[in-house]
Amino acid sequence: MKIKNILIYSIISSFFLLSLISIWKILVTLQGLKLENFNTQIIFILGFLFSFLNMFIRERLNFIVRFLFFALIFVYVDGFLINKLPIWYNIGIVFILYFFVSKTKKYNSKFLNNEHSTQLILFDFLTLFGIVLFSFVILFPFYMMLVTSFKTQIALLVNPLDFSIDFNQDLKNLFKSYFVIFTSYNFGKYILTSTIVSLGTVFITLIFAIPAAYAIARLNFFGKTFMSTSILIIYMFPAIVLVIPLYTVFSQLGLRNSISGLLIVYTATTLPVAIYMLQGYFKSIPKELEEAAILDKLSWFGIIIKIILPLSIPAISSVALYVFMIAWNEFLFSLMFLDNPNSFTLSRAIQYLSGDAETPRQYLMAGSVIVTLPVLFIFVYFEKYLVSGLTAGSVKG
């Protein structure tokens, strides 16, 4: 057994343990526990000692005993001796240690004699560390958004580290921010506008895109290749470049501050994506079905309605979900075209709300939760359809 490999393994694994415990400590601090340092050295030394010793005692003692032994020492030193922390903190630590010890199971002396063992260990621990870190970094802002919307202004200012939700208060108090933004800030209307605009965009886009996609997928005509390549180029085109001309033209036509103006722009910007996705799917439908229909003297319109549509329900629904999400999330055009609070969409309304420095943050966050929830819900629920579409490059942003 190479002592060098054991040392490297011990260092890497104790770094991993250190990062796990540090993240736990951050989470605990955010629940209102007073913790002022990470005690990095002590945790590192303990982790190192354990990993090192583990190599020698693993054959003699079974897993449970090793884990309990290690957990007890750890909790005693870190939890009671140094920080004097409550029991639930230490239970968390025990769980982390269980996870850690079970992950180190496979690194026995045979493994460490492997030629590339250090690289393998590094890869394994980096993966584990990456999973923990990325989940934390990504979920944390969402978690913060949700928790802040349940807090009061004073609680936010007094202790910005306190992320616990007090469930003992009555529901009306807990959801106060939501009540306020619906009653005094008119969010019901904004939700309605956003829904109308998004659903309208979906509807109009599909009506325009299905025939066009069918023509590109199936029919031969002059300019077909040009059209299918230009779809992609148009899709890449920057929205910010369109803003000024559209603003001037829309002001002169009186289309600003109107839902129809937004509908026109959203439809035009989502059309290329929709056509691109749909024509790809239409091409995969066997041609024989249509040939039979042509012999039956069915018109092109009939073919689309009777044959293509029923066969491509999954593709059409995933395009619809995308277009909905794009329209729902859209901000640039709603910022430019809407300046009358009566016609605001949700995104624009939240931005408008934040423009007033006096607006309490919990209202802003409650609004953010409201605008985020439908999208995340759609995404998680229909993930299977959506991910394949995402790789087709469909959500611009």
Partner 1 sequence: MEQKLSNSEKRTAYILTLPAVCLVFAIILFPIFANIWISFKEVQLKDIRIPEPRAKEIVKTIPDEQNKIKIVYKLRNSSLLQEIRNVKFEDKFPDNFKPLNLDERCNFKKNKVKCDFKNWPAKYRENFEIIFEIKDSAKIDKKDLKSSKPRLSGDSDNILLNTNFTLKNFKKVIFENEFVDLLLTTFYYTFFGTVGSILFGILTAQMVNQKFYGRTFMRSVLLFPYVAPVVALAYTWELLLDPNSGTLNSLLVNFQILDTPINLLGQKYLDINILGFSFKLRLALTTVIIFEIWRYFPLAFLFILARLQAIPKDLYEAADVDGASPFQKFFKITLPQITAVISILFMIRFIWNFNKFEDVFLLTGGASGTRTLPINVYQQGFAISDIGMGSAVSIVIVLLLLLFMFFYFKLLGKRVDEN
Question: Footprint of partner 1 on residues 249-288 (CB under 8 A)?
Answer: 249, 251-252, 264-265, 267-269, 271-272, 275
Question: How far apart are CB 393 and partner 1 at their closest, in Å?
Answer: 7
Q: Which of 184, 245, 295, 340 binds partner 1 (CB under 8 A)?
A: 245
Q: What residues between 2 and 41 interact with partner 1 by CB under 8 A? A: 26, 29-30, 35-38
Question: How far apart are CB 325 and partner 1 at their closest, in Å?
Answer: 6
* Residue with smaller CB distance to partner 1, 311 or 390: 390
Contact between 394 and partner 1 per CB under 8 A: no
Contact code string over 156-185 relative to partner 1, x by CB under 8 A: xx--xx-x----------------------
Contact between 311 and partner 1 per CB under 8 A: no
Contact between 242 and partner 1 per CB under 8 A: yes
Q: Which of 68, 165, 191, 390 binds partner 1 (CB under 8 A)?
A: 390
CA atoms of 164 and 73, how far apart (whole Å): 29
Contact between 127 and partner 1 per CB under 8 A: yes
Question: How far apart are CB 12 and partner 1 at their closest, in Å?
Answer: 13
On whether the CB atoms of residues 51 and 66 are closer than 8 A, the answer is no
Q: What residues between 317 and 346 interact with partner 1 by CB under 8 A? A: 325, 328-329, 331-332, 335-336, 346
Q: What residues between 130 and 159 interact with partner 1 by CB under 8 A? A: 130-131, 134-135, 137-139, 141-142, 144-145, 148, 156-157
Contact between 59 and partner 1 per CB under 8 A: no
* Residue with smaller CB distance to partner 1, 11 or 68: 11
Q: What residues between 78 and 117 interact with partner 1 by CB under 8 A? A: 115-116
Displacement of CA 231 from its chain's centroid (Å): 28
Contact between 123 and partner 1 per CB under 8 A: yes
CA distances in angstroms from 150 to 37, 124, 134, 147, 170, listed in the order given:
28, 39, 25, 5, 12
Q: Which long-range contacts (CB under 8 A, 24 or more apart) does 265-270 make?
A: 265/333, 265/337, 266/197, 266/201, 266/205, 266/326, 266/327, 266/330, 266/333, 267/201, 267/204, 267/205, 267/208, 269/239, 269/326, 269/333, 269/396, 270/201, 270/205, 270/322, 270/323, 270/326, 270/327
CA distances in angstroms from 343 to 254, 260, 290, listed in the order given:
14, 11, 45
Contact code string over 210-239 relative to partner 1, x by CB under 8 A: -xx-xxx--xxxx-x--x------x-xxxx
Question: How far apart are CB 61 and partner 1 at their closest, in Å?
Answer: 26
* Closest among 348, 350, 339, 352 to 257, alpha carbons compared: 339
